[in-house]
Chains A and B, each alone.
Chain A
Amino acid sequence: MKSIKLIIGFLAKSKSAAVILVFSYTLVLLIANITFASVRYITYTRDVFVEYNSPNTFYCALDYDPGEIMESDKADPIDEKLTYIENNAGKYSAYQPFLKEQNFVAVYDGTQISCEIYDKEMVQRYPLALSEGSWEELKIESDDSVFTAVSSGAQFDGVKLGSVVSVGVNKGGKALSDIKVKIVGKLAAPYSVPHFSVSGSIVTADYMFGNLDGLIFLKSDELINKINAQSSYAITTSGNFITTILPDATEKEQEEYITFLKNNFSVKSYDEIKLKSDEKVDREVRQRIPIPVFLLTIVSFALLSMSVLFVNKNIRDHAVYYMCGCSRKRSCAIVSGGVMFLGAVGGIINILFVSFYSKLSAQGILNLNNVLFDSVSILYTGLILLITVGTSVALGLIVFRKNTPIEIYRRVE
């Protein structure tokens, strides 16, 4: 307590400088963290796209009239349309199944969660990194009393692997009767899963993924029936999907099939998506990284300078402390503590932000779209802190130790 008082006294010599510095450092570090997280996410989705997709992959978008879909009395009109087209596609030799993405909203522990339904091929195509468990365990059970699922997001942090939880199908904001779910795996950060809700003239890899705070189910008739029994409008199928071309088909067969796809959908090839994704990554790195780096340089320099300033301002007082029985070691500790405080506040706030972001996002309190915060972010923040604060403390101590108390007395005399 006494030492803390002396450290506060160290900083009180120039209160406004300390406040400006702490505030600026915290803000700039936060901007840098969010920018790096955003760029890392774009890079991550590009890498995942390249890793898990072959060059004969196509991203197809169904063009439909939203009004027509809204007014339809069918449960899932988009799925019906896609199924109809897929049946026609099956006549082509180069046809491969459409990998569709379906989702529904459920309620878990009083909070709305999103749930994805993937078929087996989708799960095999995208075996994303799990922090716990295994994709192998995600299987179709023989009865509909318990369904296996992989959890995603901080919502299920407290749930042990293998536990059975209850989720309710959401109908008009109310949770209907429970579906028992056994958690067989937990997705690792950034909790990003195949989510084909976006299309456009230019498609990049990040369009094909979305953050999920919820559950991933394996598609089965039992599951669909269970959900439909509660609410026939619960399940939505995305109008966009992934498909490939049979590699063994002849060139002519492949061309014919591609023409069929293009006649029915807006089609983007693997090469187009990869090219645009690479351009986007380059652009993001080029456009977004320099400014936070510049700001971080300025503020780190300011921290370094302020440490020297504070030491110089407090040197006389420490000569008095020395006279009153404070050892040099203790004085150095007070000086180091004061300088560290200037940077540590910002660092701690940022580390806490990065650590708790997923929880805040799961609660709906904070949502920065498409960012990647994980242990690497904490490591980067720690490294920046170590370098900037470490250098400031070192420089401050060098200045402090250069002036012995007796020299200060002589100067005063």
Chain B
Amino acid sequence: MKLLKLIFSRIYYNFYSNKLVFVLFALGCFVCAVSFTYLYGNTMPSKIMPAKDSNINYFSFNFNNGESLSELISKDVFTSELVNDVRFYHNLTDAELPPELNNEAAPSFKLGTGMFSKDHMFQEMGRVEFTEEENNNAENVIILPQDYNMLTKQVGESINVCGQTFKIIGFHSGWNQMLIPQNTMLKINSAINSVELYTNKGLSRAKSEDFISEFKSDFFDATVSSSPIEMYDAADSQNPQIMFLLSVVYMISVASFMFLMKYMMDKSRRENIIYSIVGAKKKKVILILLAESSVVITVFSIFAVLVHFLFYDSFFSHINTESGITYNINDYLLITVFMIVLSLLTSIPFVVSYMKNSLVENKIKYSE
């Protein structure tokens, strides 16, 4: 308690005797803290990820025993409003592949169908969507992946898949998916080995887990081959590196302002020497000096976090790099703790360099 009183009286004295310098130091701490808070939300992968819909809206499942397409398309999970693109795939066997590919070191081609959205289908040549007529009549038309163009097939030509002849209507930008109308796939009746789907917006980790549970409740033997959970895990694993970089940037920024604090320490050198003369241990004096700078930085850092919290919706959210970035109480707590620890670490070299002289040396220095 006595120590705290001493520290606050020193802070008040510093403010009183060096108003401009103190105010600049405080403002500097405030600016660094606001920047750190902003950068935390805009560079940490786990914060940016949920804001980027395109990374966290894709699911892929494998059916270990194969499923029937007619049963699949009746399931609610594929017709819900959440899903805007779903593709069912049958893994082509060697016998089912077009003869032209038999000797190729080709990737595992798949025959697919489903409901394709324009956001995830890119035209390379010809058409990349089936007409209503083609689907209703279960016509043998096919959209090939662009890599297949290596075998010089053109739009309008024919190709043999699963023992049936298909007319090529276009090429899409994928690499191994051959796509046919849904009714045509029903007609062929090949077993569905996998399904890919895109949700119309990004899902949080919790919602992704719910979606996977719901899917697995319908399909017990399905395995997840890709989901947003992996993206979240990958983002989380990158967090420590980014946090380290942020900490370095913060410490360098605060160090620029620590020279102001050091100037105020130099001005109160007389007082520091008197402490030593009246019997305070060197360690205690170091502690007081460290605490003095840390208290000021902590107070203004907390103030900065508060300002960020209060003005987040009205101002800070509008300058974020992604529109969906959010901060929760844990984030603010983590930011505050980090800033306090980092500011302590940054203060140490300044205080130590100040105290490395002996008492007599400091007294001589003071009397200059």
Chain A contact residues, CB within 8 Å of chain B: 14, 17, 20-21, 24, 63, 65, 201-202, 262-267, 286-288, 290-291, 294-295, 297-299, 301-302, 304-306, 308-309, 312-313, 399
**B170 on the interface (CB 8 Å rule)?**
yes
**B14 on the interface (CB 8 Å rule)?**
no
**B124 on the interface (CB 8 Å rule)?**
yes
**B58 on the interface (CB 8 Å rule)?**
no
**B287 on the interface (CB 8 Å rule)?**
no
15 extra interface residue pairs, beta carbon distance < 8 Å, beyond A291-B42, A305-B21, A312-B21: A262-B127, A263-B126, A264-B125, A266-B124, A287-B321, A288-B321, A290-B42, A291-B39, A297-B31, A301-B28, A302-B28, A305-B25, A305-B256, A305-B260, A306-B259
CA distance A297 to B257 in the complex (A): 13
Identify 12 residue pairs between A and B in the complex whose beta-carbon atoms are under 8 Å apart, listed by A's number.
A17-B259, A20-B252, A262-B170, A266-B123, A266-B124, A286-B321, A286-B322, A298-B32, A301-B28, A305-B25, A305-B257, A309-B263
Q: Residues of A contacting B319 with CB < 8 Å?
A: 290
The chain A residue with its CB closest to the CB of B24 is A305
CA distance A191 to B252 in the complex (A): 38
Most buried by B among A295, A298, A312: A298
Chain B contact residues, CB within 8 Å of chain A: 18, 20-21, 24-25, 27-28, 31-32, 35, 38-39, 42-43, 122-127, 146, 149-150, 152, 154-156, 170-171, 173, 249, 252-253, 255-257, 259-260, 263, 319-322
Q: How far is the CB of B30 from chain A (nearest CB, A)?
A: 9
CA distance A266 to B124 in the complex (A): 4
Q: Is the CB of B20 within 8 A of A308?
A: yes
Q: How far is the CB of A161 from chain B (nearest CB, A)?
A: 45
Q: Is the CB of A287 within 8 A of B125?
A: no
The answer to whether A65 and B150 touch (CB under 8 A), given A24-B256, A201-B173, A302-B253, is: yes
Q: Residues of B contacting A286 with CB < 8 Å?
A: 320-322
Among A20, A21, A63, the residue within 8 A (CB) of B125 is A63
CA distance A21 to B260 in the complex (A): 13
Q: How far is the CB of B368 from chain A (nearest CB, A)?
A: 10
Q: Is the CB of B256 within 8 A of A263?
A: no
Among A14, A202, A298, A299, the residue within 8 A (CB) of B259 is A14
Q: Residues of A contacting B39 with CB < 8 Å?
A: 291, 294
Q: Is the CB of A294 within 8 A of B38?
A: yes
Q: Residues of B contacting A24 with CB < 8 Å?
A: 252, 256
The chain B residue with its CB closest to the CB of A14 is B259
Among B170, B253, B322, the residue within 8 A (CB) of A287 is B322
CA distance A312 to B260 in the complex (A): 10
Among B21, B31, B321, the residue within 8 A (CB) of A290 is B321
Q: Residues of A contacting B21 with CB < 8 Å?
A: 305, 308-309, 312
Q: How far is the CB of B97 from chain A (nearest CB, A)?
A: 20
CA distance A295 to B256 in the complex (A): 12
Q: Residues of A contacting B146 with CB < 8 Å?
A: 63
Q: Residues of A contacting B150 with CB < 8 Å?
A: 65
Q: How far is the CB of B112 from chain A (nearest CB, A)?
A: 18
Q: Residues of A contacting B20 with CB < 8 Å?
A: 308, 399
CA distance A202 to B120 in the complex (A): 11
CA distance A14 to B38 in the complex (A): 31
Q: Is the CB of B322 within 8 A of A262?
A: no
CA distance A21 to B156 in the complex (A): 67
Q: Is the CB of A305 within 8 A of B35?
A: no
The answer to whether A20 and B263 touch (CB under 8 A), given A263-B156, A298-B35, A308-B21, is: no
CA distance A266 to B155 in the complex (A): 12
CA distance A290 to B321 in the complex (A): 7
Q: How far is the CB of A365 from chain B (nearest CB, A)?
A: 29
Q: Is the CB of A301 within 8 A of B260?
A: no
Q: How far is the CB of B47 from chain A (nearest CB, A)?
A: 14
Among B24, B152, B170, the residue within 8 A (CB) of A308 is B24
Q: Is the CB of A298 within 8 A of B24?
A: no
CA distance A132 to B170 in the complex (A): 47
CA distance A313 to B127 in the complex (A): 74
CA distance A299 to B249 in the complex (A): 11
Q: Residues of B contacting A312 with CB < 8 Å?
A: 18, 21, 263
The chain A residue with its CB closest to the CB of B173 is A201
CA distance A386 to B336 in the complex (A): 35
Q: Is the CB of A309 within 8 A of B42?
A: no
CA distance A407 to B361 in the complex (A): 28
Q: Residues of B contacting A295 with CB < 8 Å?
A: 35, 249
